[in-house]
Structure 1
Amino acid sequence: MRIAIAGGTGVVGHHVVAAARARGHKTVVLSRRTGADLYEGTGIDERLTGVDTVIDATSVQTISARTSIDFFRTVTQHLVTAGRRCGVRHHIAISVIGAQTAPFSYYAGKRVQEELVLDQTIGTVVRAGQFHEFAQQMMARTKAGPVYAIPRMRSQPVAASEVAGLLVDVAEQEPQGVGPEIAGPQELRVADLARRVIDHEGGRSRVIEVPFPGGFGRAMRDGTLIARAGTTLGRQTFSEWLAGQAR
């Protein structure tokens, strides 16, 4: 099978490329580095010619709902339109557990992406928990001097490599609409994950846990964003993943 991976150089995308190649599939990476600008809609058709399946692993670093919606709507529309022209038979998007019930901030764009993909007969949406890298990404946005102000949030972090394996599993099947969900094996607080990162790196910064206001804050605290019944659970724990990261 010939599989195109949109965002194939990103956190989960490069794992998808590796997993697909390991199973003998031919891969095409769609990114600016390979000449395809997914936001501008250029260079996509040339790379989708002869492709059977698209796996969309694109992402944008933002907490703005407007920016997220604009990004995911634009990129998804470009991929869907080009896919129709090129005869793509299966379009898979990686989304986030809770995007449908907590469409705030980054999740707002993910809900729009899901709706566009599920509007196709060839679409499948795979939802995942936050990746193990999520704590570090959150820390990068919330540092104020020697202090990290981390939202009070329940999380079930999962290995990006395990999410990638599931995406390739789905690519080897027929379109499913709403597909499987995957989360990590343990429920943890994001503030505690940040503290573990600091300890691992030998830092001395302080982490304070801050309740986020509004509907999104409630979703962070009430379990909306963690695994539900029937969710596939990954095997790699956060501690195991962290032990493999450079100090």
Structure 2
Amino acid sequence: MSITTFAVAGATGRLGRHVVDVLTERGHRVVPMSRATGVDVITGAGLAEALTGAEVIIDVASWPSSDEDAATEFFRTSARNLHEAGRKAGVARIAVASIIGADKATAGFVAAKKVHEEVLLSGPLPVRVLRAAQFHEFVGQLLDWQEGDVAYVPALPTQLVACRTVAEELVDLATAPAVPTTPIPEIAGPRKESMSEAAQLLGARRGVKVVEVDGSGMPDAEIAAAGGFLPGPHAKLAGPTFQEWLTTQP
């Protein structure tokens, strides 16, 4: 196996930590890029230095809230900066994690990821996109966003996937000799689940009562309810179910 130098944007984030681990375990050189390491993909501070000698960028940097406008601006700016700095540094390509159904989204954070994909794919460097289902860890976020010992979670279909599983597939995509341009590859968990039922399992451990709601009022709730954010027939299904994953968590 040839050793490649990877620059990982968002290296200290939820998914980024797993990407760094997978790359390191496979013997590659890793340059972690985040504000914690002195690299800012929005202002560009430290970016040129971090990309010196890098052959591939893996972009898993994200915006911490679901605000569509703020997230869109973050993704648009980071995509342009990574392309510009990457081109000057001689980077061969960018691999990015996106969300299953981003192409269908009309509102919210997933719509911001749709813009992220579009800006990246229109840049000068070749880009490989991996669309993933919602992470297991997202269920905890749904509970964290609500105060008190009662949480309201929509009964929307999902196919939750482990971050580690996504990281492994993203590294495979980034290192593959060539990948098909269509359809865009997808990674999801092993079976269809309900977001509210997954939240109830986690809520029972946290002492939080989870009340199932219909999801109306959420961005693209009708699309989600109709299965628009579930994996397509070409998707790779892997990793533990949410309940299996939960048993491994402290």
How would you bin the TM-score normalised by the shorter chain? over 0.9
Partners of 2:47 and 2:106 in 1: CA distance:
29
Which of 75, 92, 111 in structure 1 is aligned with 2:78?
75
Number of aligned positions between the proteins: 244
Other structure's SS at 1:45 match: helix
Q: Secondary structure at the match of 1:100?
A: helix
CA distance in 2, matches of 1:164, 1:18: 9
What is the aligned partner in structure 2 of residue 7 from structure 1? 10
Task: Please give the alpha-carbon distance, in whole angstroms, between the structure 1 residues aligned to 2:219 and 2:246.
Answer: 31
- C-alpha deviation, 1:208, in angstroms: 3.0
Task: Tell whether the 8 Å contact from 2:55 to 2:92 is kept in structure 1 after alignment.
Answer: yes
1:46 aligns with 2:49: yes
Partner residue, 1:129? 133
Which whole-Å CA distance do the structure 1 matches of 2:5 and 2:143 have between them?
A: 37
Unmatched 5+ stretches in structure 2: none
Gaps of 5+ in 1: none
221, 240, 243: which one aligns with 2:247: 243
* Pairing of 1:154-233 with structure 2 (within 5 A): 154-174=157-177, 176=179, 177=181, 179-201=184-206, 203-213=207-217, 216-233=220-237
Displacement, 1:235?
2.5
Q: TM-score, normalised by structure 2?
A: 0.92
Distance 2:198 2:210 in 1: 13
CA change 1:215–1:148 in 2 (3 A) is closer
**1:152, 1:212 within 8 Å by CA — same for their partners in 2?**
no
Identity of aligned residues (%): 35
Cα deviation code 1:77-116 (max 9, x no counterpart) = 1111110110100101100001111132001210111012
Shift in Å, 1:175: 5.8
Displacement after TM superposition at 1:73 (Å): 0.6
- Indicate if the aligned counterparts of 1:90 and 1:174 stay in contact, CA closer than 8 A: no
2:186·2:236 contact (CA, 8 Å) conserved in 1? yes
Change (3 A) 1:175 1:72: farther
Q: Contact between 1:90 and 1:122, CA under 8 Å: does it hold in 2?
A: yes
Q: CA RMSD in A?
A: 1.6
Q: Give 1:39 deviation, angstroms.
A: 1.7
